[in-house]
């Protein structure tokens, strides 16, 4: 697993002040902005990489000084997701705090099909799938009662 930008990125929000555009993702951890690092996974998200990635993401979303409410996973370059990846995702969703919401955007066909066919219905229902980052941010703004620009 590599850590950089532009493959599998996560953004963590700690309150209702959501960045106005996707360029603000990863800029820092000022009050009300994105909290934490961006994480990247290889384009094939198999068991070992997925397990490590979701364990790291769990640490950043649960064991933190911030109250993380919204988690966005950008999956634009994740081309393959296997059953090990599904297991890691399912376990991550099961261990999210009750007030947390997971958004997955830019997900390609094969990983999406694998998620839907996995049979993890209770966990899938806790995920909001969006077509892109802008839609995910707009859904967060709508959820928090912030006017969408």
Mean model confidence pLDDT for the chain: 74
Place 102 in a pLDDT band, splitting at 50, 70 and 90: very high
Give CA–CA dist 74/56, Å, rounded: 16
Whose structure tokens read 């909001």? 128
Among candidate residues 97, 100, 93, 98, the one with its CA nearest the CA of residue 125: 93
CA 26 from centroid of its chain's CA atoms? 13
Nearest-5° Cα angle at 12, 21 to 147: 40
C-alpha 3 chain-centroid distance: 15
Alpha carbons 84 and 90: distance in angstroms, whole number: 10
CA-nearest of 50, 60, 71 to 128 is 71
Bigger pLDDT: 103 or 25?
A: 103
Greater confidence (72 vs 9) lies with: 72
52-67 average pLDDT score: 83
DSSP 6: S
Task: Give the 3-state secondary structure of residue 57.
Answer: helix
pLDDT band at 64 (very low <50, low <70, confident <90, very high): confident
């Amino acid at each position: 697993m590599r850590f950089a930008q532009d493959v599998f990125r996560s953004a963590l929000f700690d309150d209702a002040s959501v960045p106005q555009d996707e360029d603000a993702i990863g800029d820092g951890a000022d009050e009300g902005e994105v909290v934490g690092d961006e994480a990247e996974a290889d384009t094939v998200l198999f068991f070992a990489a997925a397990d490590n990635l979701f364990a790291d993401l769990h640490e950043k979303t649960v064991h933190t000084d911030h109250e993380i409410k919204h988690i966005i996973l950008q999956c634009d370059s994740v081309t393959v997701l296997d059953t090990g990846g599904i297991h890691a995702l399912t376990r991550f969703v099961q261990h999210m705090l009750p007030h947390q919401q997971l958004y997955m955007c830019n997900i390609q066909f094969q990983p999406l099909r694998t998620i839907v066919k996995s049979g993890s219905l209770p966990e899938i229902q806790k995920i909001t799938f969006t077509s892109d980052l802008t839609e995910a941010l707009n859904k967060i703004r709508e959820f928090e009662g912030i006017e969408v620009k």
